Structure 1
């Protein structure tokens, strides 16, 4: 984090950063997030997926969310490899990485956070995920319907009622990026179901096809304001950036 902050200070017109934190020690992670934001000038936190098969939906990790809400900064949940309890059938088929497994892992992680009531406990918390929301926008209707049915059935002790629907949390507490998903139908669908103010441009540089990705986004058939939100103003708002001042 110190090295990242130094690079951002040396190139303020090019870089802004997020503080990496280690959830293995939630109290220390929360403190490092506070240090990263208040002392290093970073703009949020980033966590690489599950922690040895344990998810941030576990209240043990909630001090991290409490710190993020207090600081008014987002937490970006980045994919990692599937936990050992899930990975074998994905690996056998070669589907465990960016092709599919990453999205399954992070989509599950975000769903666990939502259904565990994290946003009820921390209503101002903001979470960012990439890859067009890890396919969750496409599932919203079914998620809302089956979540309500499962809660009514009282089938699982862990499945408690929440104050809002899954889709409402996705529209009010979650932001997504287009990293690795340079496909106009998917981008526009996400803008339609979540709101254009919830979708931010991003790229899985350097291993994605950067020229093609940029051209796809440039050619999106949306109005100028929607495109400006995608490329600039959404990120400025979510991460607390002041691009004009840095230019």
Structure 2
């Protein structure tokens, strides 16, 4: 069995309902250098088109095509690639959504999943603040709508998730024991040196965002207070496993580094998980190394569907070809995601 734990989705209403579309486009924080707009062709058909996100303005980082999120297309693609279950999430725009838009998206996500007859699951979206209405929507999305976890951005504005303003929100998640998927944003907080070049902005920038996010979460000590919190980071956490020995030194020497390595490793092992976002670009050796360093029960497979067709159509086969055990392959492709998101798919098949 295979779970694709990173499939992007937007409700069709952002393309077909002009009022909702305008509200969605207005949600992008232009005053902080993010621009979102609808792009159409000369042969534009009502309800068709592409939404483009530029960050900074003039440098496209995300785009959403209306044809990519139809349920008939998603189910057909899953069937063709023999993917049993896809987990849906928003494609990077959750950083700036209002609570009102989150409610709408959660309702539409639940309807979309219901139409899939069990082939799709989904993650709820709420702003990471602990006011009464937000916490109500958090519980409603999980308990009433049956969504499988929460999705957050790696940072909100210039604040990463270890910031104290988010702590009351995470206290509630810690209480509910709900898994949290942490998605990279179009660029990290500090991006001035990388934004001019596409590959630096789009790839290195997102890895920097993830490494920074994971590192801050571990070194902040937030997991001491929130032991039940499970954060699943995209982009393999920016490849943070390659820095493990340097970040968690056994002997820092001369007091230059914080050498509480056992404590930091404990957080890394118990509270942080990773989603590939996507298999092939990492390369065979790099993924095999990740399995050796951080174990297959901490990594889940995701294709970033529908960003690049080959990542989806060839991604699971790429994992099958890794020089790792069959048990490890099963954990990467199915078991770890099934356990983290409490899907219980083994029991239902």
Q: Provide the TM-score with structure 2 as the length reference.
A: 0.62
1:150 Cα deviation (Å)?
9.6
1:224 to 293, 318, 326: 326
1:142 & 1:163 partners in 2: Cα distance? Answer: 10
1:117 Cα deviation (Å)?
0.9
1:98 Cα deviation (Å)?
2.9
Q: Is residue 2:345 matched to residue 1:240?
A: no
Q: Deviations over 1:25-72 (max 9, x none)?
A: 343544322221111111111012211111111111012211222111
The DSSP-based 3-state class of the residue aligned with 2:237 is: helix
The DSSP-based 3-state class of the residue aligned with 2:122 is: coil
Q: Is residue 2:246 matched to residue 1:142?
A: yes
The answer on whether the counterparts of 2:279 and 2:318 sit within 8 Å (CA) in structure 1 is no
The answer on whether the counterparts of 2:188 and 2:205 sit within 8 Å (CA) in structure 1 is no
Give 1:212's aligned residue: 314
In structure 1, the gaps of 5 or more residues are: none
The answer on whether the counterparts of 1:18 and 1:44 sit within 8 Å (CA) in structure 2 is yes
The DSSP-based 3-state class of the residue aligned with 1:88 is: coil
2:260 & 2:180 partners in 1: Cα distance? Answer: 21
1:127 Cα deviation (Å)?
0.4
After the TM superposition, which residues 1-247 of structure 1 pair with which residues of structure 2 at under 5 Å, given as runs? Answer: 1-23=106-128, 25-27=129-131, 28-83=133-188, 86-145=190-249, 149=252, 152-153=255-256, 164-182=262-280, 183-208=283-308, 209=310, 210-244=312-346, 246-247=348-349
2:239 & 2:218 partners in 1: Cα distance? Answer: 15
Q: Deviations over 1:202-247 (max 9, x none)?
A: 1111123223323211222222222111111111110000214555
In structure 2, the gaps of 5 or more residues are: 1-105
The answer on whether the counterparts of 2:248 and 2:260 sit within 8 Å (CA) in structure 1 is no
1:74 Cα deviation (Å)?
1.1
Q: Which moved more, 1:161-170 or 1:6-15?
A: 161-170
CA 1:162/1:81 → structure 2, altered by over 3 Å: closer, same or farther? farther
Let me know the Cα RMSD of the aligned residues.
2.5
1:44 & 1:151 partners in 2: Cα distance? Answer: 43
The answer on whether the counterparts of 2:275 and 2:299 sit within 8 Å (CA) in structure 1 is yes
1:30 & 1:97 partners in 2: Cα distance? Answer: 34
Q: How many residues of Structure 1 are paired with residues of Structure 2 in the alignment?
A: 239
The answer on whether the counterparts of 1:52 and 1:83 sit within 8 Å (CA) in structure 2 is no
The DSSP-based 3-state class of the residue aligned with 1:145 is: coil
CA 1:121/1:162 → structure 2, altered by over 3 Å: closer, same or farther? farther
The answer on whether the counterparts of 1:197 and 1:234 sit within 8 Å (CA) in structure 2 is yes
CA 1:169/1:138 → structure 2, altered by over 3 Å: closer, same or farther? same
1:93 Cα deviation (Å)?
3.3
1:93 & 1:122 partners in 2: Cα distance? Answer: 38
